[in-house]
Structure formats: C-alpha cells, structure tokens
Amino acid sequence: GAVVSQHPSRVICKSGTSVKIECRSLDFQATTMFWYRQFPKKSLMLMATSNEGSKATYEQGVEKDKFLINHASLTLSTLTVTSAHPEDSSFYICSARDRTGYNSPLHFGNGTRLTVT
Amino acid sequence: DQQVKQNSPSLSVQEGRISILNCDYTNSMFDYFLWYKKYPAEGPTFLISISSIKDKNEDGRFTVFLNKSAKHLSLHIVPSQPGDSAVYFCAAANTGNQFYFGTGTSLTVIP
C-alpha cells in the first residue's frame, strides 16, 4: 500500500525558533500533498495544499508566512513553522493520494508532535 | 461550519459484538466517503471507502453503509476485537481534492 513517511515524529523547540517537518511519499509520486493540524479532541484541520513545483494553497486563517511549505519534488514536501510560539504546539500530519483523480483515499504520515516551550 | 459530524465522541462495545459508528454530513455535493482509524500520536490509517453510487461496501469485518437521502453513513465492525480500540474519523470529499473530516469517535472494545 501507499506509504507516507513523516519526520520528525516529535520535536521540542524554544519560542522564536523555526522547525522543519518533512513529508515523503515512499512508494509513489505525489504531485499534491496536504498538511493537517489536529488540536486535542478536535478534528483534522486542513492547513494547506502543497503543489509540486508551485506555491502552496493555504486555507483561510492559516498564515502563509508562518507556515512555509515547499514541495520541491514529487516525493517530498516540507512544512516549516517559523518563529514558533507556544500556541503553535500541536500535532501536524501530512497526507497524499497515491493516484490522481477521483475516489482515491488520502494516506497519512505518522504525524509530528510539536511542543514549543 | 462543520460539514461532517460525528455526534458520538465515544463508544464502548463488548468483544465479539458489533460496533456501529455513525457520521452525518450536510453537503449534498459530497460523493466520496471514507473511514479512518487513528491511534494516539499516529497518523490516521485508511480503512474503507464508498462512492455515492453505492450504498454498501464491505471489506472483511468492516462494512460501510451510505444513506444519501439522510446524508448519513455508518461503519460496522463485526466482530469487534480489542485491537479495534482507537479513534475513528469519517471523511467526505467532492470532485476536488478537499477532504472534510468529522471530529472522531473513540471506540473501546472491552475484552
């Protein structure tokens, strides 16, 4: 099956620093990857859609200058949380579809637990 | 505005019995529906899906039912096993890449 790998699984950083999270599709190419954020006991919130070779599309209310997304290849997308603050502490998950078009599921990475102190 | 809703935050079921998880949606344009299983500190794992042209899809112990007129779908797990204990998310999508997720139902299967 389609495998999405996310790294790191857990990171603790100090307030004001930046953190980069990597998302890789291991056995398929993904022209589009999706970044989600999950708050405790809440649903998965789509933050942005990452498009290979072009700019990401951000959802309303998500600061693009704070959450920098780069999709440099068909198998790698990165999310950089810049100038992190404690309120950025959350569980971030990336996902991708292993084939384009209709009726294909999203496959998720294992997520990254970010804690900003 | 929550377009996909799971009104039961938790469910407990005895091992061997049926687990029924429910999900409601509001957007009639959704035509693809999915269920995901999630353990703590892990990403969701795809379980089963159904397109709007069907009303039932079965995969082993898992069956998804879709009632389009009621905008309701459900996941049946039979028989339930302790390893099924997890949070289950339903999701819906339309022709675009946009997936909408419910808030999840925590299933506990009691041995």
Give the model confidence (pLDDT) of B21-75 as tens digits: 999 999 999 999 999 999 988 899 999 999 999 999 999 999 999 999 999 999 9
Question: Which residue of A lies nearest to B51 if distances are taken between CA atoms?
Answer: A103
Mean pLDDT of B4-14: 95
What pLDDT is recorded for position B59? 96
Q: Which residues from A are below 8 Å from B32, CB to CB?
A: 102-103
What percent of chain B has pLDDT above 70? Answer: 98
What pLDDT is recorded for position B40? 86
Query: How does residue A51 score in pLDDT terms, banded at 50, 70 and 90?
Result: confident
Residue A103: pLDDT above 90? no
Q: Which residues from A are below 8 Å from B91, CB to CB?
A: 106
Q: Which residue has the higher pLDDT, A102 or B102?
A: B102
What pLDDT is recorded for position A28? 87
Q: Any CB–CB contact under 8 A between A44 and chain B?
A: yes
Q: Any CB–CB contact under 8 A between A11 and chain B?
A: no
Q: In 3-state terms, what secondary structure has residue A88?
A: helix
Q: Which residues from B are below 8 Å from A47, CB to CB?
A: none
Query: Would you call B99 and A102 a contact, using CB atoms and an 8 Å cutoff?
Result: no
**How far, in Å, CA of A85 to CA of A106, rounded?**
29
Residue A100: pLDDT above 70? no
What pLDDT is recorded for position A43? 82
Mean pLDDT of B7-33: 96
What pLDDT is recorded for position A102? 67
Q: Which residue has the higher pLDDT, B108 or A101?
A: B108
Mean pLDDT of A3-19: 96
CA B21 to mean position of chain CA atoms? 6
**How far, in Å, CA of B36 to CA of A106, rounded?**
10
Mean pLDDT of A66-70: 95
Between the CA of residue A73 and those of A77, A93, B6, B55, what are the distances in Å? 7, 19, 36, 38
The candidate with the shortest Cα–Cα distance to B111, out of B40, B38, B17, is B17
Query: Would you call A108 and B51 a contact, using CB atoms and an 8 Å cutoff?
Result: no
First to last CA, chain B: 38
